[in-house]
Amino acid sequence: MLRLSVAAVTAFLLLTGCLGFWVHTPKEIEDIQTDQQEMKTDIQTLTAAVEANETLLRSLQAQSGSRTSDLIERLTALADELDMTLMRLNSTGAAAVQDTVAGPGAQLLFDEAYRQFQQGSFDIAAQGFLELHDRHPSSSLADDALYYMAICWEEAGYSHRAIEDLVALYYMYPGSEWASGALFRAADIYATHGAEAEKNRLFDLLLNRYPQSDEAALVRELQD
């Protein structure tokens, strides 16, 4: 799931800039830390909502194989919460600038998590990918970790967590090679649970942001 430390975001704000470094006063840094604390609270609230939705989904699946209006309403509420939290992160400059190389620490974490993924140990793999992203959010493997973590949650039956990570990937790494695929996969999960409005919302976003992608071409085919 989406987790950003105050130190990581502050480091990003201090070190990014096309022509040089941004230098902040102590007061500005204090304001940044305050904003990040507020975002951390928002993310904790979002996490609780995701877990509640998972409980509802499992209960409904146990009682009946049919989709219900309650589930769709919860999915819609989740989408709204994701938009509010992740767009706020994006607007405050939380989109990460990735390194061109992974670094040995990130590579070791990724290799072990991917090995667990290949073996079908999705819960263990997800935790490994999460650790990589938490420790190395600017690594060239950070977006890969988010994408594979989402697949792990989906395979393990936690579809809401999968949606959360896929949408987070788009907001945090909009230039990633996974971004368009992440939006498409999140939309497909919504469709699986009957949330057509949310599926269409993500399809529209995909067509708008990545019109030349293979996923956009597939969306156009589906809409014809």
Cα atoms in the 13 Å half-sphere on the side-chain side of 80: 6
Range among 14-23, 120-129, 188-197 rated most confident: 120-129
When pLDDT is cut at 50, 70 and 90, the band that residue 37 belongs to is low
Q: Give all domains of the chain, ordered by start, each with its CATH number.
A: 6-223 (1.25.40.10)
CA-CA distance, 98 to 85, in Å (whole number)? 21
Please report the pLDDT score of residue 10 as a whole number.
37
Is residue 18 scored above 50 in pLDDT?
no
- Judge contact between 33 and 6, C-beta under 8 A: yes
Q: By 3-state DSSP, what share of the chain in percent is helix, strand and coil, each rounded to 5?
A: 75, 0, 25
- Judge contact between 126 and 145, C-beta under 8 A: no
CA-CA distance, 84 to 60, in Å (whole number)? 27
Is residue 17 scored above 50 in pLDDT?
no
CA-CA distance, 96 to 143, in Å (whole number)? 10
Higher pLDDT, 85 or 209: 209
Higher pLDDT, 180 or 48: 180
Gap between the terminal Cα atoms of the chain? 34
Is residue 51 scored above 90 in pLDDT?
no
Higher pLDDT, 183 or 56: 183
When pLDDT is cut at 50, 70 and 90, the band that residue 21 belongs to is very low
- Judge contact between 76 and 56, C-beta under 8 A: no
Q: What is the pLDDT of residues 81-111, one digit of tens each?
A: 555 555 555 554 455 667 666 678 889 999 9
Please report the pLDDT score of residue 223 as a whole number.
86
CA-CA distance, 180 to 165, in Å (whole number)? 13
Q: What is the pLDDT of residues 110-119, one digit of tens each?
A: 999 999 999 9
Percent of the chain at pLDDT > 90 equals 42
Query: Can you state the angle between helices 196-209 and 214-223, rounded to 10 degrees?
Result: 130
CA-CA distance, 101 to 38, in Å (whole number)? 32
DSSP notation for 35-78:
HHHHHHHHHHHHHHHHHHHHHHHHHHHHH-SS--HHHHHHHHHH
Contact partners, residue 9, CB within 8 Å, separation at least 6: 32, 36, 94
Lookup result for tokens 């030349």: 212
